[in-house]
A = this chain, B = another copy of it.
Amino acid sequence: MVDTVKLAVIPGDGIGPEVVGQALKALAAATEGSGVVFEQTEFSLGAARYLATGDVLTDDDLAAITGHDAILLGAVGGVPGDPRLAGANIERGLLLKLRFELDHYVNLRPSVLYPGVASPLAAPGDVDFVVVREGTEGPYVGNGGAIRVGTPAEVANEVSVNTAYGVERVVRYAFAAASARPRKKLTLVHKTNVLVFAGSLWKRTVDAVAAEFPGVTADYLHVDAATIFLVTDPARFDVIVTDNLFGDILTDLAGAISGGIGLAASGNINPDGRFPSMFEPVHGSAPDIAGQGVADPTAAILSVALLLDHLGRAEAAQKVQRAVVADIAERGDTRRSTSEVGDAIAARIGA
């Protein structure tokens, strides 16, 4: 019996198409002969599409993507400062729109310092944690506004919206993730002493859900203190659960200390399965190095492992993961092209 998975592929801009090409190679190698076939539809979205047509994400695009089982995204975004993009906000109009419309309430970002990878930290220790970042609320909701724009009396507000509904589901997901890990530790990161209303909701929710997971040890850190520990003792973390904005900040820092965002994978997950989940490297479109075949496809390939895992293909996910780890361990300082890295990893997967 052959299962068919309908995969929407959004290569995007800059280095996006290059790294997605290698990620698809890894996907093919990992699932060959496994009885699952990935039926791919490519969507041309991002800055290039906007410049060509004026569209960021049409209702038709969204409906078509929603009809798929999963999404693989490279990176979107044009050259910073390109005046032709001044009127568009590709990040909000495309990336965040997909996360919100497809109810990706879990933004899953593992941070592992793999053997052989250099960290900017002198003594990083055994870094292996995952950030469960809320994906559909907080300061990201787009609930802001401004008056008297451009005058000395301008006021610009941004509202962080947090609901029991939204916080509880992501906190429960994080506890379940923690209870499935050996250390069973969960750290809530927020700023409860300043953002007292949102902070209180998050804190009370963690305390309440903790009662359902007696095997998990839960603690709390202010976001400012969390950044200190991420550089002085990152090994202390196991599962971090946090809001959308704090998660954005912490995961870039986490990526940096565990070898660079060139290695950081992420899943935008709708755990209910009502909508397709979306997997993407944490890095951006890096227009400065696009088209040169030098981008590191590792984060995109690791995102394929997260995708396979999400689809219940744990064995194939493991194959990808192991191949990447083995490749990384032997990397040293050799400079390889994007496709050389992709080929090497695909070959290991197939071996």
Among the 9-residue stretches A25-33, A35-43, A89-97, A298-306, the one with 4 or more Cβ atoms under 8 Å from chain B is: A89-97
Known contacts A197-B145, A198-B144, A231-B231; is A152 also within 8 Å of B164 by CB? yes
Contact A156 B201 (CB under 8 A): yes
A151 to chain B: closest CB distance in Å? 7
Q: In whole angstroms, how far apart are the Cα atoms of A168 and B154 in the complex?
A: 11
A46 to chain B: closest CB distance in Å? 14
Instruction: Count residues of chain A with CB under 8 A from any CB of chain B.
Output: 63
The verdict on A256 contacting chain B, using a C-beta distance below 8 Å, is: yes
Contacts of A257 in B (CB 8 A): 231
**Copy count, this protein chain:** 2
- List residues of A (130-161) whose CB comes within 8 Å of B's CBs: 139-140, 142, 144-146, 148-161
The verdict on A245 contacting chain B, using a C-beta distance below 8 Å, is: yes
Which of B160, B163, B194, B253 is within 8 Å of A91, CB to CB? B194
Scoring A residues 163 to 199 as 1 if CB is less than 8 Å from chain B, else 0, what string do you get?
A: 1110010000000000000000000000101111110
- List residues of A (61-93) whose CB comes within 8 Å of B's CBs: 89, 91-92
Contacts of A155 in B (CB 8 A): 161-164
Task: Give the nearest-CB partner of A153 in chain B.
Answer: B164
Q: In whole angstroms, how far apart are the Cα atoms of A19 and B194 in the complex?
A: 25
Contact A195 B256 (CB under 8 A): no
